[in-house]
Structure 1
């Protein structure tokens, strides 16, 4: 009986004693696409407009290559010292710790989690922009394109924050696979819509707009600033290297996790770069020097309004998953650190089983509820204040 029990445990647990991982190539691709393709894909047309027909596409390809090389190098650091049989590094900070030491770990961890926190705050703003764009699109359809259709963003931020308070109670990164799949589907949907509307506009115009040097600026200094801003937007469109280890830690083996990660990254980056080029180039070809900052929320397109509404709804659903993808590593770090620091605290470590009618039982932790709720509230408040102050100062 003892031998049988040990055999059952070996089938349920991985080599590090944790629950056996079940992630596959396709779930890994879904995570990567959710992390990489953000609503920023719709602003790439503006970036191409600043760089021109040669530099714009070349810049996208260069950043894709740099990202893939970074991923190949990082994926071999998941296990240490051997990339196949070594000890697992569960996060970016763990890999820094074993390779570079404690001091660099603190610095890298600080910048990594601040970056993730900033992304989550930006997602709150972007979501409210997309939700507001749905109302404006309907308003323009009913009252004309010159109608004063402006709405306050704050209620939409609060709605998104309330949704994130609920979804943030998902236990860990391993449990959001379904959310990443949904988000990946949504990202493909609104990217295809952006590409399709750009192509339709080019056909309607009967010409390809734009130039080799891009949109002109009042001064050389202004042009240089816009070029660097465009490069920054393109670089920001490939942000998933910092959560690579969390994604790789969901993969089952064999085959070795680093091989699956490299293959998934190649497929995902090929698909995302293809969509980037299609949306960026056809958006620029459609509008030329007057390309809006965002093809959908900037209302570069007005009709068909129902398709614009659907695309913006897809952006909102995608950002629900994207927010969790960048929040879960922060949640995990804080909760594990707190548990190790105060191992005897019931507030931190005790879990309680809850059973609601028609729903499966689940476990709750008081600290998890409090911390994750406070985290979501803080990003929502900062997003609201920053957007309000920006409008107040007229930017």
Structure 2
């Protein structure tokens, strides 16, 4: 069991609000994930499998690589410890993070109105690392890696209506570390957890398309090991001032990947220009607290220090996605705009996930090399608002949390 102990999940992506990664294909990066109603590529298997029922009767596979670059987030302000001691004048930066993520999407040929699809993606994750106090007291490192295998099946109910059902299997792997003058924590773990997804497509005319998709909540039930250390400087636990307590124990925790509802509409003009709007509802309120559970070998004192539930109280959020596609013979041009809200309330924001509202802009293109092969390149830049924070621990401002995503892919039809 290596590398996740979902305290990690607090750390994840600084785009897509919270720790989700909505952009898991070239089309999704190019259109800001406004590729739900009007989608006919291999990535329909993930974003709207119901549309597979209307696609040409040929198999498609897309292989891609996505680069994600996270700025070195800055914090300026004061910090108040659990004991009530306050230090001010902090001006610290998180470590810059760079990742390369492979993706795969596949759609089978149709048989009697039935199509099969499979996607292999990263739906959440990334990392936040700090090297300076006071951030290292809670968030020296939070790293999350996830892989989702999402098979689906679609059926064409009529000439205008299609439906689909899929299963979600998410493997999670991560690590969390923290170090302060009186305590330290080093945890790792992993898990495989399951959910489902549903999709419905309605095409009343060749120009107008509607879609409804739902991805279920998945609770990441990570299990692993924890090494804990605490020095009691105030004799709060009766062992004497300076008494030390340590534990090596099994540990577990459950953290949700939220349910997501998408309502989408697209219209294609005679000029072969398609406009799409997606309303997205993220049910983050399922994340109420982070509660670690340790095994029987844990020391009672370290269990008290590290085992108390941590309030999160995330709130449900809306995202608004706008995409435009222009077909030009062998060339396709795409662009998108995303307005996204953070689910993290002021009362519980910390160094592990300094999230904020964002505006994202995206561009991309595909070129049809032959009848069977097309290649593409896309980029998305997420501009995060500077965020003032005022709670029991922090009085200051986070800034420079912008994110760059670049995707390249090749799609083959056979």
Q: TM-score, normalised by structure 1?
A: 0.21
Instruction: Compare the two structures and name the one with the higher strand fraction.
Output: 2
Instruction: Compare the two structures and name the one with the higher helix fraction.
Output: 1
Larger RCO of the pair (alpha carbons < 8 Å, separation 6+): 1
